[in-house]
Amino acid sequence: MRAVVVRPPVPGVAVEEVPAPVLGPGAIRVAVRECGVCGTDHDVADGKYGRAPEGDAYLILGHENLGEVIEVAPEASGFRAGDLVVATVRRGCGICRFCLSGRSDFCETGRFTERGISGAHGYMADEYVEIPPYLVRVDSALTPVAVLLEPLSVVEKAIAQGQAVLDRKEPTPGHSRSAAPRALVAGTGAIGMLAAFALRARGYDVVAVDRHGEDTPAAVLLRRIGAQHTNVSEGLGAVRDSAFDLVIEATGSVALDLHLAEMLGPNGVLVLTGIPDPAATPISVAAGPLFREVVLGNRAIVGSVNANRADFESGLEDLARFESRWPGACASIISARRPLEEVASVLAEHVGGAMKTVLTVRRGSTQGRSGR
């Protein structure tokens, strides 16, 4: 079968013929329809991150996925040929209490694998094989947006983490809040945009920031869902009100992360989702005032990575909610669909203002190739 192959830590990516996976007992064979390309894929293709499975010379890239069940082993249940599915990414260490209870996103040993990233083959290939606990069935009505479910699962977890910290304050019976909660989203790539959608759907007033003007597809889309867009290319001072309840960071920029902490209102929470480059230039920061405000204002800074099955399931509910509230809007987070063979040029291009590029592997009946 065709597969997008990388050999970290050697940089480079190629479409190669590799053996199709064997259908083991209890497993499901899935024909991949689409794979999203994200920052992690760039890092793995650049040789900065990730590793091949034990004993293999290469890794099949890709973790944002949508596929169609084509074969079900006799012992497997719950799926049948034709079902649309999205596979989760992380496979637990099998040792710690979180992995043993289906929450490998909180793995304590670090001995997990992640399909398409570290130690397990991914989904940029004609086919993959998986067992049912790691497959999430998708309603065909969601076909145009279902490839966004994996990045949305990361957002679902991040918001849930932030909300759990916000909820530590407990309710104030008889004294309800007088205005909608306020969220700041940093970054308008797919993660930032999906966060803006999910927070609007939860009743937040949302300000999303990036370094672009008002005419990008992201800025237009933000207005459509009732979120405000602000260009912060001259600094975060452009965001006038800096008293946010929840800040979701989706850029991976360390310098920005520290300034985002200054945007928190009393009791506010900053959730970091972008993965910074460990080789990023060191910066100096006035830590005294920063951490003084964290303490005196009960503020919190939380990291959030990956997602578990519950986050994929809440993501499915959100995708349906987005469609009914803003028909067709979520699909326009996908800036372009390109054939699998073009993966190297997709990874080499940096299209300013693009939110998500998706590789088309096998064309389904309801998919089309969109323009760029």
Nearer to ligand BGC, 76 or 195 (CB): 195
The whole-angstrom separation of Cα 356 and Cα 370 is: 12
Nearer to ligand BGC, 150 or 210 (CB): 150
| Shortest separation between residue 9's beta carbon and ligand BGC, angstroms | 15
Binding map of ligand BGC across residues 77-96, x = CB under 6 A, - = no contact: ------------xx------
Would you count residue 38 as binding ligand BGC (CB under 6 A)?
A: yes
| Shortest separation between residue 71's beta carbon and ligand BGC, angstroms | 26
| Shortest separation between residue 156's beta carbon and ligand BGC, angstroms | 12
Longest CA–CA separation in the chain, Å:
65
Q: What secondary structure letter does DSSP report for 22?
A: P
The whole-angstrom separation of Cα 150 and Cα 287 is: 35
The whole-angstrom separation of Cα 189 and Cα 64 is: 14
| Shortest separation between residue 281's beta carbon and ligand BGC, angstroms | 22
| Shortest separation between residue 49's beta carbon and ligand BGC, angstroms | 7
Beta strands 2-7 and 10-17, pairing class:
antiparallel
| Shortest separation between residue 192's beta carbon and ligand BGC, angstroms | 14
Facing residues of 3 across strands? Answer: 16, 125
Residues 6+ apart with CB under 8 A from 65: 32, 34, 35, 36, 86, 87, 122, 123, 147, 150
Q: Which two tokens stand for residue 246?
A: 């929840």
Nearer to ligand BGC, 250 or 270 (CB): 250
Nearer to ligand BGC, 190 or 225 (CB): 190
| Shortest separation between residue 91's beta carbon and ligand BGC, angstroms | 11
CB 259 within 8 A of CB 225: no
The whole-angstrom separation of Cα 222 and Cα 187 is: 12
H/E element holding 356?
A: strand 356-360
Would you count residue 65 as binding ligand BGC (CB under 6 A)?
A: no
Binding map of ligand BGC across residues 284-313, x = CB under 6 A, - = no contact: ---------------------xx-------
Nearer to ligand BGC, 29 or 51 (CB): 51
Q: How many CB atoms lie within 10 A of CB 206?
A: 26
Would you count residue 318 as binding ligand BGC (CB under 6 A)?
A: no
Q: Which residues ranging from 100 to 159 are in contact with ligand BGC (CB under 6 A)?
A: 114, 117, 150, 154
Q: Which residues ranging from 148 to 177 are in contact with ligand BGC (CB under 6 A)?
A: 150, 154
Q: Which of 212, 110, 109, 204 is nearest to 159 (CA)?
A: 204
Binding site for ligand BGC (CB under 6 A): 38, 40, 63, 89-90, 114, 117, 150, 154, 305-306
